[in-house]
Amino acid sequence: MRVILLSVFLSTLCNGCAVVAVADAAVTVVATTVKVGATIVETTVDVAAAGVKAVAGTSDDKENTEKE
């Protein structure tokens, strides 16, 4: 009887470890996805800002042309 209880207890612990491992993997995937998404948004904003500056020009360009 003691062996059976010990086996059940140990199997419960192992299943708990598996649940923690799966939850940890899920959190890691979500964190990586958020990080990649933030990087894509940052790059998109940088590209859009560069496009606006190229089309509209910046105040620095106007000041440099007025001095010349």
- Whole-angstrom distance, CA of residue 45 vs CA of residue 53: 12
H helical segments located in 1-68: 2-56, 59-67
pLDDT in tens, 30-66: 999 999 999 999 999 999 988 888 888 766 655 555 5
Q: What average pLDDT does the segment 17-35 reach?
A: 86
Going by pLDDT thresholds of 50, 70 and 90, the confidence category of residue 6 is confident
Specify the pTM: 0.48
Write down the pLDDT at residue 39: 92
CA distance 63 to 60: 5
Find where tokens 């708990």 sit. 16
In the numeric block, the tokens 């606006």 are attached to 52
Domain ranges of the chain: 20-54
